[in-house]
């Protein structure tokens, strides 16, 4: 009888070990620093372009200012020097792990600033600074000394992007190129079994050609964000990070004072890690102009790319006595369903030499109920000299 019990216990122990090893093998191990990963896009993404945000963030076949050119350089329009400033807000949301009380925030209320101008005949140019992604995790606490003290970290990720745009026109075709110079800023990167503050910033260049074809009151747009690679050394670990390609296409039509637009974005995230799904984002928008006012409405469907368990990066060969204080913490987490469907609204008032826009978007699926609000001011340089600048009837 004792022999049978020992055999049963041994089988049970081997089963537990096998299950744990298998679960670890199945869990996602980060292919890049945590919060730049696409499984966090449901909150980290900032939708630059207040006008587009109101109409489901459709941009690819819609002519506009430099804010639109950030998404498709061929859509840049205007024969006067113009400025654009957008501020944005993302109310905090709870962390997506069910067993966590932390939240995500984005304290910098800034979206995009830049200037566009006519260079020569049919050639336009623009430069802008924008923040396509931002998140602060509030907060990650490590207790030590039998709980008498703790170390608090706020993992942070900001993507600072400087975009130079060049756009030309031949007949019914417009074409353009964006050179996106990106600074990926990380603070308080979490590496299990370490108390060090790890802050890093990496520079990456992305190239984005675009095309826009117009026939009567119909338009077709296409743009391609080229893939890139970057080796990221975060002191304890090295990542050969891949930035996957993104292909976007759009259709738009004008009917008197009404416009309707449809976009599709395809991003090859499986190149970043085989556990990620590729993502197809669909967008639909419409707008109607009445005198000095434009009203917008839209939908944007953005599916998640990963659902399951992940492991936090760990310090290799961690042997310090300090590592014992990490034993009470979970070395990983779980990503639940992050599919989103945004309902969007927008309004623009046109004044002499410029326009003022307000927009909002809200996820209605409530898997991760994110809200974004944007306010933008666009104006021509010549309008500043006028006595009635910002004058509203």
In this predicted structure, the answer to whether residue 18 has a pLDDT above a threshold of 50 is no
In this predicted structure, the answer to whether residue 222 has a pLDDT above a threshold of 60 is yes
Contact 297, 285 (CB under 8 A): yes
* H or E element at residue 101: none
Out of 12-26, 187-201, 304-318, 357-371, the most confident range is 357-371
Contact 199, 94 (CB under 8 A): no
Out of 106-115, 268-277, 335-344, least confident range: 106-115
Give which of 238, 133, 205, 221 is closest to 173, Cα–Cα: 221
In this prediction, residues 60-76 reach a mean pLDDT of 94
**pLDDT, tens only, 72-86:** 999 999 888 899 999
How large a percentage of the chain has pLDDT more than 70?
86
pLDDT band at 227, cuts 50/70/90? Answer: very high
pLDDT in the model for residue 185: 96
**pLDDT, tens only, 271-303:** 999 999 999 999 999 999 999 999 999 999 999
Superfamily the domain 30-385 falls into? Outer membrane protein transport protein (OMPP1/FadL/TodX) (2.40.160.60)
**pLDDT, tens only, 247-261:** 999 999 999 899 999
In this prediction, residues 259-267 reach a mean pLDDT of 98
* H or E element at residue 49: none
In this prediction, residues 123-149 reach a mean pLDDT of 83
204-218 residues labelled b (16+ CB within 10 A) or e (exposed):
bebebbbbbbbeeee
Instruction: Cis check for the bond before 139: say yes or no (omega within 30 of 0).
Output: yes
Using CA atoms, how far apart are residues 226 and 65, in angstroms rounded to an integer? Answer: 23
Output 222 or 9, whichever has higher pLDDT. 222
Contact 36, 362 (CB under 8 A): no
Give which of 52, 45, 44, 73 is closest to 378, Cα–Cα: 52
Output 147 or 68, whichever has higher pLDDT. 68
pLDDT in the model for residue 16: 43
pLDDT in the model for residue 320: 64
* DSSP E strand stretches across 154-199: 156-170, 173-187
Out of 70-79, 96-105, 174-183, least confident range: 96-105
In this predicted structure, the answer to whether residue 24 has a pLDDT above a threshold of 60 is no
pLDDT band at 373, cuts 50/70/90? Answer: very high
Output 5 or 30, whichever has higher pLDDT. 30
Length of the chain: 393
pLDDT in the model for residue 2: 46
**pLDDT, tens only, 26-60:** 899 999 999 999 999 999 999 989 999 999 999 99
pLDDT in the model for residue 22: 39
**pTM: predicted TM-score of the whole model, two decimal places:** 0.87
Contact 72, 368 (CB under 8 A): no
Using CA atoms, how far apart are residues 77 and 129, in angstroms rounded to an integer? Answer: 18
In this predicted structure, the answer to whether residue 362 has a pLDDT above a threshold of 50 is yes
Out of 185-199, 308-322, 348-362, least confident range: 308-322
pLDDT in the model for residue 129: 96
Backbone conformation region of residue 195, classed left if phi is above 0, alpha if psi is from -120 to 50, else beta: alpha
How large a percentage of the chain has pLDDT more than 90?
64
The tokens describing 275, both together, are 């556990």
pLDDT in the model for residue 6: 47
Out of 10-19, 40-49, 74-83, 109-118, least confident range: 10-19
pLDDT band at 193, cuts 50/70/90? Answer: confident
pLDDT in the model for residue 159: 96
The ranges assigned to domains in the chain are 30-385
pLDDT in the model for residue 308: 93
Q: What is the pLDDT of the chain when averaged over all its residues?
A: 87
In this predicted structure, the answer to whether residue 224 has a pLDDT above a threshold of 60 is yes
Give which of 393, 280, 292 is closest to 348, Cα–Cα: 292
Contact 126, 165 (CB under 8 A): yes
């Amino acid at each position: 009888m004792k022999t049978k019990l020992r055999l049963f216990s041994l089988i049970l122990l081997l089963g537990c070990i096998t299950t744990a090893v298998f679960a670890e093998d199945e869990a996602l191990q980060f292919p890049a620093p945590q919060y730049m990963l696409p499984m966090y896009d449901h909150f980290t993404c900032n939708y630059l372009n207040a006008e587009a945000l109101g109409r489901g963030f459709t941009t690819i076949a819609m002519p506009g200012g430099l804010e639109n050119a950030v998404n498709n350089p061929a859509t840049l329009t205007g024969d006067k020097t113009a400025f654009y400033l957008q501020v944005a807000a993302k109310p905090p949301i709870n962390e997506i792990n069910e067993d966590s009380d932390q939240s995500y925030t984005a304290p910098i209320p800034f979206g995009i600033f830049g200037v566009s101008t006519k260079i020569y005949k049919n050639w336009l140019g623009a430069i802008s600074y924008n923040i396509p992604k931002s998140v602060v995790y509030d907060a990650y606490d490590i207790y030590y000394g039998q709980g008498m003290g703790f170390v608090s970290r706020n993992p942070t990720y900001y993507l600072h992007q400087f975009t130079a745009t060049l756009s030309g026109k031949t007949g019914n075709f417009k074409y353009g190129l964006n050179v996106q110079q990106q600074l990926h800023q990380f603070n308080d990167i979490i590496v299990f079994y370490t108390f060090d503050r790890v802050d890093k910033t990496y520079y990456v260049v992305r190239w984005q050609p675009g095309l826009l074809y117009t026939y009567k009151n119909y338009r077709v747009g296409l743009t391609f964000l080229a893939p890139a690679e970057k080796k990221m050394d975060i002191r304890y670990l090295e990542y050969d990070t891949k930035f996957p390609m993104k292909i976007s296409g759009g259709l738009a039509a004008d009917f008197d004072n009404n416009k309707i637009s449809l976009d599709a974005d395809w991003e090859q995230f499986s190149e970043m890690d085989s556990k990620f799904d590729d993502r197809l984002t669909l967008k639909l928008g419409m707008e109607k102009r009445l005198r000095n006012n434009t009203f917008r409405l839209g939908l944007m469907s953005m599916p998640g790319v990963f659902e399951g368990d992940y492991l936090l990066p760990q310090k290799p060969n961690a042997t310090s006595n300090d590592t014992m204080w990490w034993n009470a913490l979970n070395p990983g987490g779980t990503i639940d369903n992050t599919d989103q469907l945004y309902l969007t609204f927008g309004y623009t008032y046109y004044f002499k030499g410029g326009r003022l826009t307000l927009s909002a978007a809200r996820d209605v699926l409530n898997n991760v109920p994110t809200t974004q609000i944007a306010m933008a001011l666009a104006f021509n340089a010549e309008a500043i000299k006028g006595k009635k600048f910002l004058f509203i009837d």
